Chains A and B, each alone.
Chain A
Amino acid sequence: GDSVTQTEGPVTVSESESLIINCTYSATSIAYPNLFWYVRYPGEGLQLLLKVITAGQKGSSRGFEATYNKETTSFHLQKASVQESDSAVYYCALGDREGNTGKLIFGLGTTLQVQP
């Protein structure tokens, strides 16, 4: 079936260090998967961080980036230098293309703790 697996948290890094949160997906029933990273900051709702709908492309937002790799079925989230304000829960998600059902399949979420 369709599924998403991501780095098990919590992940703890120090401010200004680099970050990578791994995400791999399986899309057996989705012909053209779209990939997303969502984030939930403390006390807030889930919000879209970045999306990529074409294999081989890279998405970026707020210093984060992720590349849609169809060969390795991966969509790892990276940031060169994290800040304390990046502390949050990050969710990798797999979706169907626009105009289809649009349902999202989420990973378990990875809690990121950035230490000052």
Chain B
Amino acid sequence: GPKVLQIPSHQIIDMGQMVTLNCDPVSNHLYFYWYKQILGQQMEFLVNFYNGKVMEKSKLFKDQFSVERPDGSYFTLKIQPTALEDSAVYFCASSLKGLEQYFGPGTRLTVL
């Protein structure tokens, strides 16, 4: 089936630094999402993106977070600056019509 790729699979970074998580969505999809999962907790919605704009963001999507998809390339999640509580697995998803979402394998972010 359609694949969503995420790069890197694991990122270790010092607190306060910037990090960019990359997502390569399914090629013809129009809706893009980021979810965050802390170990032992539920996967939680962060943000969704359509037509070049953020449609909805949760309270977890702090001011230090931003998303973009320049020129139809990677869909990125940038965190600047990072904090210890940002350590989690981040999942990207894409969807053609906003109903059925296809997920990537996740990027494990460790903030030291």
Contact = CB atoms under 8 A, between A and B. Distances in A.
A99 B101 contact: no
Interface string B75-112: 00000000000000001000101111111111000000
B43 interface: yes
Given A101-B56, A103-B33, A34 B99 contact: yes
B99 A91 contact: no
Contacts of A105: 45
B1 interface: yes
Contact of A100 (B42, B98, B104): B98
Interface bin, chain A: 20 to 34
A101 B48 contact: yes
Given A45-B4, A47-B1, A47-B103, A104 B45 contact: yes
Contact of A108 (B41, B91, B98, B104): B41
Nearest to A98: B99
Contacts of A46: 91, 103
Contacts of B44: 106
Interface in A95-115: 95, 97-109
Contacts of B106: 45
A11 interface: no
15 contacts: A34-B99, A38-B103, A44-B105, A45-B104, A47-B103, A48-B101, A97-B99, A98-B99, A102-B98, A102-B101, A103-B45, A104-B101, A106-B43, A108-B42, A109-B42
Interface of B: 1, 4, 31, 33, 35, 41-45, 48, 55-56, 58, 91, 95, 97-106
